Amino acid sequence: MCGRSCPQAQRGGAITETVPPGPNGWSYGGMVAQAFASRHPDLTAGLVLEDPSVAEMFVDPAWGSIDWAEGGRTIDKDTTVAELSDLDLGDLPVVVLSSDQLRGRLRRLSYGYHDHLAAATTDGVHVEALGVGHSIHAVAEELVAATVTAVVESVRAGNRSSLATAGSTTSAAAV
């Protein structure tokens, strides 16, 4: 990591633009991004979490059928739950994107988890991506790009509450 501002692109040795760092996390990577932001608030300017897994999924029996592995390795659920149990993201700009494909109890649980995650910061918003599955980036690339842009612009403007003023939960159609 390189502090509050990292090179975005470099051509011929010249940096063309800088953007504040902030991990984007999809699925299990969302928990990795949460842990990074929690451990390194000085190195994290914002987060975009795309249909992220959350620690509560490891302890809720409703998710018991999931094989929790990443990259061929079994995930240490106890350590993950302990590390993320008291997640507080302060005033970090955070957008949580949720798929609208789950149904019934799992949908209610997932949305509740994602609402709770967006509330772990004073500048969080939960967005329902309409008409897309778990891989939001594969179907709604423009939505994910616009979300990243909104977080970057919020950080650049120093307007730490700009995302939260949009409302805690909203919906966006995939374009």
Q: Give domain limits for the chain.
A: 23-173
Opening angle at CA 41, ends 35 and 44, nearest 5: 85
Flag whether the pTM goes above 0.85: no
Q: Check pLDDT > 90 for residue 2.
A: no
Q: How far is CA 71 from CA 60, 118, 148, in A?
A: 23, 27, 25
CATH of region 23-173: 3.40.50.1820
Residue 49 phi, psi dihedral angles, 5° rounding: -115, 115
Residue bearing the bigger pLDDT, 161 or 119:
119
Query: Which residues contact residue 114 at a Cβ distance below 8 angstroms, ignoring those fewer than 6 apart?
Result: 52, 54, 96, 98, 126
- If DSSP codes are grouped into helix, strand and coil, which group holds residue 14? strand
**Which is it for the CA torsion 43, 48, 50, 52, positive or negative?**
positive
Query: Which residues contact residue 13 at a Cβ distance below 8 angstroms, ignoring those fewer than 6 apart?
Result: none
Task: Give pLDDT tens digits for 32-90.
Answer: 999 999 888 888 889 999 999 999 998 899 988 888 887 788 888 899 899 898 888 98
Residue bearing the bigger pLDDT, 141 or 163:
141
Distance CA 74, CA 57 (A): 15
For the chain, the average pLDDT equals 80
Q: Check pLDDT > 80 for residue 9.
A: no
